[in-house]
Amino acid sequence: MSTDALSAVRRVDPEREPVAAADAGPWPTVRDDLRTLIRAAARAERSTVDAATVDWLLDHETPPDAALADRIACLERLRLDGASVLEVGSVLGELSRTARTLGAVVIDGVQLEPALVRLAGLINAYRHVSRVSFHRGLDDLDARCERYDIAIVSVAVTVQETIRAVELADRAVVLELTGAIEPSVLCGALAPGFPSTANLGEVSGRGEPSVMLALARDEETLLELVSGASHERGAPPLEQEVEHP
């Protein structure tokens, strides 16, 4: 996926006017302190977080991480207006924030590592992103009996967590699959209630590229969810319904 596509990414929260530095006017601001704080926190977590990625997240410039750029591009094929979204394995939260720019009204990102939850929250604060929250693990959401229209599950999430996430979704699931197992077989096993499948695109990585799939309750939901203009954008055509047990 080219970085040209990324430059077209609409990175403005539709409900939030960013308060630009020039607009600070008579108001004090902690923006510079916050930036320093986020970068220091990122350095402290350098085993899991790439400093260049954090800078990009703060400034919305060209992403240094090709895989993340690809995932964003895949996600942008979805129409999320009014949807509630769960993202499991949200890391620094950029896919959740992307879901917000695509019109989702509630986005809960889930990440087990507390330092990442906090860092992702700080980036939200810096970028003035609304309606996107990050949670430590799924337990709290389970306890509140939350339901979501769409669950997005990262490639790094365990099978058990994936199945728990799928159980919380009502309309569709977005999965990233890699490895030798036939995607349709995997989908049938992981998300048996979501038979209609569309390929959102490939995600490049260090090894074998993975593929992002949207799985919906039925064909109609799938068509509502996935932009029909996929051919024009050079993405693979919609796949046929897969068989599942």
Q: Which stretch binds other proteins (CB under 8 A): 64-72, 102-110, 163-171, 195-203?
A: 102-110
Candidates 7, 28, 207, 245; binder of other proteins (CB under 8 A) is 28
Q: How far is the CB of 163 from other proteins (least distance, A)?
A: 23
Candidates 78, 88, 102, 117; binder of other proteins (CB under 8 A) is 117
The burial of 67, by beta-carbon neighbours within 10 Å (0-12 exposed, 13-18 middle, 19 or more buried), is given as middle
Residues 115 and 121: their CA atoms lie apart, in Å, by 10
Fill in the per-residue mask, 62 to 101: x = in contact with other proteins (CB under 8 A), - = not in contact.
----------------------------------------
State CA 131 to chain mean position distance: 14
56 lies in the site for other proteins, by CB under 8 A: no
Candidates 12, 44, 51, 125; binder of other proteins (CB under 8 A) is 125
CB under 8 Å to 82, separation ≥6 — which residues?
103, 104, 105
130 lies in the site for other proteins, by CB under 8 A: yes
Q: How far is the CB of 66 from other proteins (least distance, A)?
A: 29
181 lies in the site for other proteins, by CB under 8 A: no
Residue with the two structure tokens 């942008």? 76
189 lies in the site for other proteins, by CB under 8 A: no
What is the chain's length?
245
Q: Which stretch binds other proteins (CB under 8 A): 68-76, 104-112, 164-172, 233-241?
A: 104-112
Phi-psi bin for 169: left (phi > 0), alpha (psi -120 to 50), beta?
Answer: beta
Residues 165 and 152: their CA atoms lie apart, in Å, by 8
Q: How far is the CB of 148 from other proteins (least distance, A)?
A: 12
Which of 101, 105, 87 is closest to 11 using CA atoms? 101
Buried b (16+ CB within 10 A) or exposed e, 159-179: eebbebbbebbebbbbbbbee
Candidates 4, 32, 33, 232; binder of other proteins (CB under 8 A) is 33
17 lies in the site for other proteins, by CB under 8 A: yes
Q: How far is the CB of 135 from other proteins (least distance, A)?
A: 6
Instruction: Say if residues 157 and 138 touch (Cβ distance below 8 Å).
Output: no
Chain residues binding other proteins by CB under 8 A are 15-17, 19, 23-24, 26-31, 33-34, 37, 105-106, 108, 117-118, 121-122, 124-125, 128, 130-131, 133-136
